[in-house]
């Protein structure tokens, strides 16, 4: 698999811009540095002043990246001197030749980058728009030959290091824990293995063109640096293409019998269902077999180790059970409320970690909190998936994985089926061969850690937090008419989840859905779309995994580029998939803006006007609300129209369901203050947190009945409608919890003057701030009333004097 790269800027958790890249499909952080809220325009519209200013911040980020890289090289150089000194004694740890082989060209790489850093630092410090740095990058590119020597020796260096570790326990201990100084916190260090640090230069050189691409993008063609940077980019690209084919196979293959090579095609962490219990596994797909392993617990700085749980040769693997009558194991489902409770705990712990860091109370307290965070995130990762992915061996033995993404399930199936075309013989591994294969996984793995946010580097992109509006317009390229629909997935809390589903467009080869969805993003970096053919004839398609018979017609994804989405305007895009093209429009609203109420620009009629004003009109106790489309799937069932018109029901029958749905949400969002009022909002937030159920019910009901009459009547009418929508959950997929998630923040979010969100745009909202806790609280308040069996009649609310509104 050749290396592929993209890069962009993302707003970090601590007021920083982070430059991140997708490297062979995995996001990797390069550098981070404090930036003002400034973003360059799109190509062709580059504002000269902003572009020149951005150059400085790009270069500042490069300096930070160089500093980190130099610390890694220093960690490699640190043991070299004592090892060389010991080599001349009667009891050497390593021979001089072994030292030279393992640390080959590391001192030279350090000197090259130290010279580059020392030359760049003063120029950035004394910055002006005419400052030149192109000569430094040109010289750095001209010295890539040292990397060629390092890469050519890399395989020998790793083999030598491994043999020396096996032969000498003292060197094994040294190689397992090499200390890297954290430049940002002088009292903190990071422990890395020799293997990890030796791969840093290989990883570095494969990313050499990215920095130049980004710097060129913000360097006007008239600037003296432009031709120098172009030359440096040309040299880097030629060098990268010459070594690209050498690096990946070297990392991803292992020698087997008769000189053949078993190559790793794909690996990831998955949840296996074992006798009703969920177990975290690391699954590896090789060119001839599927291997399921368990990651052993690490202790004392030891490197990762795996235990083999089972394997299936690809020639013996099937997705269809041998015995058709065999009952599929029941999947233990976890309630959405339980998952939300885990997310709340995660947010609370992250808040506590940030508070401890600000208070400088020492690393022990932070480490304890990080351990709790890891436990909670691991539990969430374990309990969230509910989609079955079953594989079977030739003896009929079945293994069940639980996956949260149909996109990933389809990828696993496709990769296995494609490779099965090349496999012809069954085989079995001896215990020694199996042990060797399992041991090789440590080196061959492409997914190096469990996908938890706690495992992310500090300077790695945190992803986007806020709301993504997606309009699924239409699709073309289908060869024949069928019943078609799409689903949308985004990554959240380290894994992908299904977020939305269009209606089924029947008997067409050119569906025009034109449906809009609002998707909450929680550290998201990618939007995925899958297109399905709905199968109403259950015997038409072979049923797999005991799951839906609907067939995936195509799938694709788009990176959520913060730079492209930062202006909050609609962005049109086309996603190509297997000859099919799906047209989308996307618009992102960050948490900074999504937490604010959006006052209507034109306060006339109903929108943007206080409910009390609207209801002063004759015979009006609430804005007229009509409902339609209860059977639509996804966001669409929340369909209503607010208008001061007695013929609203007639008008609604002629309107698009999705337009009505958006209108209802927009109406409540544009209210000058929330339906639950700014005055009572803090009380509702505190009341929902009460642990005693009797006290909670008394408090919440009294608060509700204390709302202004127009607000109360409108809410009760909406509440009744949402409950009727939930009655159709089997058709429209909208549970009470889903409805609360959609409407809770809209109904309770306080007006801007009451919002707890910081107004300073240089302090963006992140998962470690109060945003998640506040929104989850809003969701819980609405969910509480949706689940409440009975609410006292409004007429009796003024007689309710038994309870105090104080919490």
Q: Name residues whose C-beta falls within 8 Å of residue 771's C-beta, 6 or more positions apart in sequence.
A: 465, 591, 595, 757, 765
Q: Which domain CATH number covers 571? A: 2.60.40.150
CB 451 within 8 A of CB 756: no
Domain boundary among 203, 225, 253: 253
**In this model, does residue 518 exceed pLDDT 90?**
no
Domain of 54? 45-253
**In this model, does residue 646 exceed pLDDT 50?**
no
pLDDT digits (tens, 9 = 90+) for 553-575: 999 999 888 877 877 788 899 99
* Termini Cα distance of the chain: 60
pLDDT digits (tens, 9 = 90+) for 325-379: 344 567 777 888 888 888 888 888 888 888 888 887 667 888 888 889 888 888 9
Lowest mean pLDDT among 210-214, 289-293, 480-484: 210-214
Average pLDDT over residues 301-309: 77
Of residues 132 and 435, more confidently modeled: 132
Q: Is 2 within a domain?
A: no
Q: Which helix (H) or strand (E) holds 505?
A: strand 505-508
Residue 609: pLDDT band by 50, 70, 90 thresholds?
confident
Of residues 433 and 505, more confidently modeled: 505
Q: Which helix (H) or strand (E) holds 268?
A: strand 261-274
One domain for residues 335 and 211? no
Give the integer Cα–Cα distance in Å for 450 and 270.
10
**In this model, does residue 12 exceed pLDDT 50?**
no
Lowest mean pLDDT among 205-214, 403-412, 664-673, 746-755: 746-755
Average pLDDT over residues 120-146: 90
3-state secondary structure of 419: helix
One domain for residues 74 and 186? yes
Of residues 540 and 55, more confidently modeled: 55
Taking all residues of the chain, what is their mean pLDDT, rounded to a whole number? 76
Give me the pLDDT at residue 755, please.
47
One domain for residues 372 and 491? no
Average pLDDT over residues 757-785: 62
- Which CB contacts under 8 angstroms, 24+ apart, belong to 545-549? 545/319, 545/328, 545/388, 545/389, 545/390, 546/328, 546/388, 546/390, 547/387, 547/388
Q: Please tell me the total count of domains within the chain.
A: 4
One domain for residues 212 and 76? yes
Q: Which helix (H) or strand (E) holds 507?
A: strand 505-508
Give me the pLDDT at residue 672, please.
84
One domain for residues 347 and 237? no
Average pLDDT over residues 171-189: 64
What percentage of the chain reaches a pLDDT higher than 90? 26
Give the integer Cα–Cα distance in Å for 368 and 155.
39
Q: Is 807 within a domain?
A: no
**In this model, does residue 596 exceed pLDDT 70?**
no
**In this model, does residue 420 exceed pLDDT 90?**
yes
- Comparing C-alpha atoms, which of 612, 668, 625 is closest to residue 782? 668
Give the integer Cα–Cα distance in Å for 720 and 788.
11
Q: Is 4 within a domain?
A: no
Q: Name residues whose C-beta falls within 8 Å of residue 130's C-beta, 6 or more positions apart in sequence.
A: 224
Average pLDDT over residues 373-400: 90
One domain for residues 89 and 164? yes
| pTM (whole model) above 0.85 | no
**In this model, does residue 466 exceed pLDDT 90?**
no
Paired residues of 280 in beta bridges: 271
Q: Which domain CATH number covers 715? A: 1.10.555.10
Give me the pLDDT at residue 750, please.
83
Q: Which domain CATH number covers 206? A: 1.20.900.10
Give me the pLDDT at residue 46, please.
44
Give me the pLDDT at residue 599, please.
57
Domain boundary among 253, 283, 312: 253
Q: Is 24 within a domain?
A: no
One domain for residues 470 and 415? no
CA distances from 594 to 526, 624, 771 (A): 20, 26, 10
Of residues 387 and 6, more confidently modeled: 387
**In this model, does residue 434 exceed pLDDT 50?**
yes
Q: Which helix (H) or strand (E) holds 387?
A: strand 387-392
**In this model, does residue 546 exceed pLDDT 50?**
no
Give the integer Cα–Cα distance in Å for 39 and 494.
27
Q: Is 363 within a domain?
A: yes
Of residues 687 and 546, more confidently modeled: 687
Give me the pLDDT at residue 733, please.
67
Residue 3: pLDDT band by 50, 70, 90 thresholds?
very low
What percentage of the chain reaches a pLDDT higher than 70? 71
One domain for residues 369 and 427? yes
Paired residues of 521 in beta bridges: 466
Give me the pLDDT at residue 650, please.
46
3-state secondary structure of 384: coil
**In this model, does residue 636 exceed pLDDT 60?**
no
Of residues 400 and 795, more confidently modeled: 400
Residue 37: pLDDT band by 50, 70, 90 thresholds?
very low
Of residues 70 and 543, more confidently modeled: 70
One domain for residues 591 and 670? no
Q: Is 397 within a domain?
A: yes
CA distances from 718 to 598, 622, 627, 714, 740 (A): 21, 11, 10, 6, 12
Q: Is 581 within a domain?
A: yes
Q: Tokens for 290? A: 């599927």
Paired residues of 277 in beta bridges: 274
Give the integer Cα–Cα distance in Å for 666 and 800.
33
Lowest mean pLDDT among 204-213, 232-241, 478-487: 204-213
pLDDT digits (tens, 9 = 90+) for 699-743: 999 999 999 988 999 899 889 888 888 888 777 667 888 888 878
Tokens 């949308």 locate to: 488
One domain for residues 89 and 236? yes
Give the integer Cα–Cα distance in Å for 640 and 746.
15
Q: Which domain CATH number covers 409? A: 2.30.29.30
Lowest mean pLDDT among 310-314, 529-533, 538-542, 680-684: 538-542
Could you give the count of Cα atoms lying within 13 Å of 88 in the half-sphere of its Cβ?
4
**In this model, does residue 607 exceed pLDDT 80?**
no
| DSSP-assigned letter for residue 475 | E
CA distances from 544 to 184, 387, 398 (A): 52, 12, 13
One domain for residues 119 and 170? yes
Tokens 């799109």 locate to: 42
| Other C-beta atoms lying within 10 Å of the C-beta of residue 760 | 10
Domain boundary among 238, 253, 268: 253
Residue 457: pLDDT band by 50, 70, 90 thresholds?
low
Q: Is 758 within a domain?
A: no
**DSSP output for 272-309:** EEETTEEEEEEEEEESSEEEEEEEPPP-TTPPP-EEEE
One domain for residues 127 and 82? yes
Of residues 244 and 666, more confidently modeled: 666
3-state secondary structure of 488: strand
């Amino acid at each position: 698999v050749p290396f592929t790269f993209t890069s962009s800027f993302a707003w970090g958790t601590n007021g920083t811009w982070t430059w991140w890249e997708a490297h062979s499909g995995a996001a990797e952080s390069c550098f981070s540095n404090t930036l003002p809220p400034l973003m360059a325009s799109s190509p062709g519209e580059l504002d000269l002043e902003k572009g020149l200013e951005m150059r400085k911040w790009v270069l500042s980020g490069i300096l930070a990246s160089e500093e980190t890289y130099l610390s890694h090289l220093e960690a490699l150089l640190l043991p070299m001197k004592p090892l060389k000194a010991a080599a001349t004694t009667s009891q050497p740890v390593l021979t001089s030749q072994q030292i030279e082989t393992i640390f080959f060209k590391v001192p030279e790489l350090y000197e090259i980058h130290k010279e580059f850093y020392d030359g760049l630092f003063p120029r950035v410090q004394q910055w002006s728009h005419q400052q030149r740095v192109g000569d430094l990058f040109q010289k750095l590119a001209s010295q890539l030959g040292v990397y060629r020597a390092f890469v050519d020796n890399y395989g020998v260096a790793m083999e030598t290091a491994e043999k020396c570790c096996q032969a000498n326990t003292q060197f094994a201990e040294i190689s397992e824990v090499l200390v890297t100084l954290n430049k940002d916190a002088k009292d903190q260090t990071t422990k890395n293995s020799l293997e990890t640090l030796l791969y840093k230069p290989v990883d570095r050189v494969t990313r050499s063109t990215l920095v130049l691409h980004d710097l060129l993008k913000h360097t006007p063609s008239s600037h003296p640096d432009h031709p120098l940077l172009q030359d440096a980019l040309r040299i880097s690209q030629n060098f990268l293409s010459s070594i690209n084919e050498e690096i990946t196979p070297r990392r991803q293959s292992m020698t087997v019998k008769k000189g053949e090579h078993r190559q790793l095609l794909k690996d990831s962490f998955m949840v296996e269902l074992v006798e009703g219990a969920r177990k975290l596994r690391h699954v590896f797909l090789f060119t001839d077999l599927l291997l399921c392993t368990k990651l052993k617990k690490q202790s004392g700085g030891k490197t990762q180790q795996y235990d083999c749980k089972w394997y299936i040769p690809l020639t013996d693997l099937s997705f269809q059970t041998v015995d058709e009558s065999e009952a599929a194991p029941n999947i233990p489902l976890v309630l959405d409320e339980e998952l939300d409770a885990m997310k709340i705990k995660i947010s609370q712990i992250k808040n506590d970690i940030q508070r401890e860091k600000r208070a400088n109370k020492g690393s022990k307290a932070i480490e304890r909190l990080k351990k709790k965070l890891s436990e909670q995130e691991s539990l969430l990762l374990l309990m969230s998936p509910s989609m079955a992915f079953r594989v079977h061996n030739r003896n009929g033995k079945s293994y069940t994985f639980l996956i949260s993404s149909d996109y990933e399930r389809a990828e696993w199936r496709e990769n296995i089926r494609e490779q099965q075309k090349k496999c012809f013989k069954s085989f079995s591994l001896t215990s020694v061969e199996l042990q060797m294969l399992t041991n090789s996984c440590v080196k061959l793995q492409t997914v190096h850690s469990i996908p938890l946010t706690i495992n992310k580097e500090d300077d790695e992109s945190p992803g986007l937090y806020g709301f993504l509006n997606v309009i699924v317009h239409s699709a073309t390229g289908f060869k024949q008419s069928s019943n078609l629909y799409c689903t949308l997935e985004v990554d959240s809390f380290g894994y992908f989840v299904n977020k939305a589903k269009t209606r089924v467009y029947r008997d067409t080869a050119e569906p025009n859905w034109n449906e809009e969805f609002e998707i909450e993003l929680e550290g998201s970096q990618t939007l995925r779309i899958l297109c399905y053919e709905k199968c109403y004839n259950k015997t038409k398609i072979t049923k797999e995994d005991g799951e839906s018979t609907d067939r995936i017609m195509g799938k694709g994804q788009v990176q959520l580029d913060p730079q492209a989405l930062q202006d909050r305007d609609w962005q049109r895009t086309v996603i190509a998939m297997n000859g099919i093209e799906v047209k989308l429009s996307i618009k992102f609203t960050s948490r900074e803006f999504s937490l604010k109420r959006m006052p209507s620009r034109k306060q006339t009629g109903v929108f943007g006007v206080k409910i009390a004003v609207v209801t002063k009109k004759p015979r009006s106790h609430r804005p007229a609300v009509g409902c339609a489309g209860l059977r639509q799937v996804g966001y669409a069932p929340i369909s209503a129209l607010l208008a001061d018109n007695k013929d609203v029901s007639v008008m609604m029958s002629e309107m698009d369901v999705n337009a009505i749905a958006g209108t209802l949400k927009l109406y409540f969002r544009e209210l000058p203050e929330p339906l639950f009022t700014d005055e009572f909002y803090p009380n509702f937030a505190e009341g929902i947190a009460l642990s005693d159920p009797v006290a909670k019910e008394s408090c919440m009901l009294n608060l509700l009945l204390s709302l202004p009459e127009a607000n109360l009547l409108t809410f009760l009418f909406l509440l009744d409608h949402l409950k009727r929508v939930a009655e159709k959950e089997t058709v429209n997929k909208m549970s009470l919890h889903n409805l609360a998630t959609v409407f809770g923040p809209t109904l309770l979010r306080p007006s801007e003057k009451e919002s707890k969100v910081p107004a300073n745009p240089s302090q963006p909202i992140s998962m470690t701030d109060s945003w998640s806790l506040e929104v989850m609280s809003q969701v819980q308040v609405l969910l509480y009333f949706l689940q409440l069996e009975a609410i006292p009649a409004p007429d009796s609310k003024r007689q309710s004097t038994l309870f105090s509104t104080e919490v």
